[in-house]
């Protein structure tokens, strides 16, 4: 049983400066959202929550089976963090974003299920290129300038944010509380594969995009979000912060890293990055996290303890680590999975990894939302 001393959640003073305020950036954040922020800050020095993208929706060899989860099938518990994508409230296919009530309803149910069991929810957004109306990877058509104030697509873009806002506001649990969501928009912006990536807008435009997003969601009455800044790989604190939108609009300092975590040979890169992010987060009163990682198809039987566990050890302080989704090869990409399934060669090592007292699955979580207080 882990007891959280939420009151002691302050940060040591910065040398020569004032201690950063450790609270969500949204002064009107809901009670549960504030509690989640405080809980993750309190846990992070000693515990890392384990997360998995799309965990409840499908897995290796199955789709849409209520209650099923590859993480649970292997390790006996659901993950502590559930990753989802805002894109899943829209109909698939090219063209303008079309809200799909049935898809949104499914997603809402999975989100509520995880929240009711005590898990944390994080959402990325692979938003299709809003000018080309294609997909998030369409970098041929410049889009950021067009959606900023004064751009041709500004008004249409705000309307799309409003749809996301309505979805966030609809995440109401039976106890009346709104599910806090760690929102991770415009992720991997240090890379060039998304239309919001480094080669496709200036740092000032990126910061403008971020701030416009936060302001619009607030204007829309959304107060159940923590905002996660989530780069791809980087080498220095300066590179990490190159497009940082500001301490007043970011709660979580995260990074996505599929490269440094590949093997013993690359691990020093991951270790360097986690040290940088944990130090920056602590000095700013923020939460540090490994917002995406994984080894596709897990060909290394001891990857969990030998590589990921070792990497996390380099700098204790990541509040969570999330691995990417387990595509069902029957109807999706082949061998595109990042958590083991029963019988997979790294399954036993995954169990060892999750048994480490520092790594938390859902059944080991304290009350993240201060429900009993
Ligand atoms: C990628 C892959 C794709 C997927 C996308 C958004 O990394 O997993 O198959 O469509 O993320 O979820």
pLDDT (tens digit per residue) in 206-243: 999 999 999 999 999 999 999 999 999 999 999 999 99
- Output 85 or 20, whichever has higher pLDDT: 85
Report yes or no: 60 and 347 within 8 Å, Cβ to Cβ. Answer: no
Band of the pLDDT at 94, cuts 50, 70, 90? confident
Give me the pLDDT at residue 5, please: 59
Burial bucket for residue 28 (CB in 10 Å: 0-12, 13-18, 19+): exposed
Has 364 been annotated as catalytic?
A: no
Q: If you average pLDDT over every residue of the chain, what do you get?
A: 95
Q: Which of 193, 325, 335, 339 to mutate to test the pocket of ligand 1 (most atoms within 8 A of CB)?
A: 325
What is the spatial distance between Cα 245 and Cα 208, in angstroms, rounded to a whole number?
8
Band of the pLDDT at 7, cuts 50, 70, 90? very low
Report yes or no: 290 and 314 within 8 Å, Cβ to Cβ. Answer: no
What average pLDDT does range 109-120 have in this prediction? 98
Has 160 been annotated as catalytic?
A: no
Q: pTM above the 0.75 mark?
A: yes
What is the spatial distance between Cα 304 and Cα 302, in angstroms, rounded to a whole number?
6
CA nearest ligand 1 atom 7, residue: 324
Q: Which of 81-85, 259-263, 369-373 has the lowest mean pLDDT?
A: 369-373
């Amino acid at each position: 049983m882990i007891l959280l001393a939420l009151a002691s959640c302050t940060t040591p003073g910065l040398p020569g400066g004032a201690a950063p305020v450790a609270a969500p950036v949204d002064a009107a954040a809901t009670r549960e959202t504030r509690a989640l922020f405080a809980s993750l800050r309190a846990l992070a020095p000693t515990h890392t929550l384990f997360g998995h993208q799309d965990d409840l929706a499908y897995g290796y060899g199955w789709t849409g089976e209520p209650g099923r989860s590859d993480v649970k099938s292997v390790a006996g518990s659901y993950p502590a963090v559930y990753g989802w994508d805002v894109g899943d409230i829209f109909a698939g296919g090219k063209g303008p974003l079309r809200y799909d009530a049935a898809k949104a309803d499914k997603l809402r149910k999975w989100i509520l299920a995880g929240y009711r069991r005590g898990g944390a929810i994080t959402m990325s957004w692979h938003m299709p290129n809003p000018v080309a109306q294609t997909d998030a990877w369409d970098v041929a058509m410049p889009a950021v300038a067009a959606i900023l104030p004064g751009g041709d697509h500004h008004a249409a873009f705000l309307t799309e944010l409003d749809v996301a806002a309505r979805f966030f506001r609809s995440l109401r649990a039976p106890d009346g509380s709104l599910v806090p969501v760690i929102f991770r928009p415009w992720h991997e912006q240090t890379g060039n594969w998304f239309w919001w990536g480094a080669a496709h807008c200036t740092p000032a435009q990126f910061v403008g995009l971020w701030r416009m997003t936060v302001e619009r969601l607030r204007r829309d009455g959304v107060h159940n979000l923590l905002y996660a800044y989530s780069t791809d790989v980087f080498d220095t604190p300066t590179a990490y912060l190159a497009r940082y939108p500001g301490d007043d609009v970011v709660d979580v300092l995260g990074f996505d890293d599929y490269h440094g975590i590949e093997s013993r040979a690359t691990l020093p890169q991951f270790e360097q990055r986690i040290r940088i992010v944990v130090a920056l987060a602590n000095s700013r009163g923020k939460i540090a996290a490994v917002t995406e990682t994984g080894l596709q198809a897990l060909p290394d039987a001891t990857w969990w303890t030998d590589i990921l566990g070792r990497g996390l050890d380099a700098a204790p302080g990541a509040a969570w680590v999330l691995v990417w989704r387990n595509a069902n090869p029957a109807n999706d990409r082949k061998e595109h999975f990042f958590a083991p399934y029963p019988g997979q060669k790294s399954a036993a090592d995954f169990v060892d990894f999750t048994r480490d007292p520092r790594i938390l699955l859902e059944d080991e979580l304290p009350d993240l939302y201060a429900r009993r207080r």
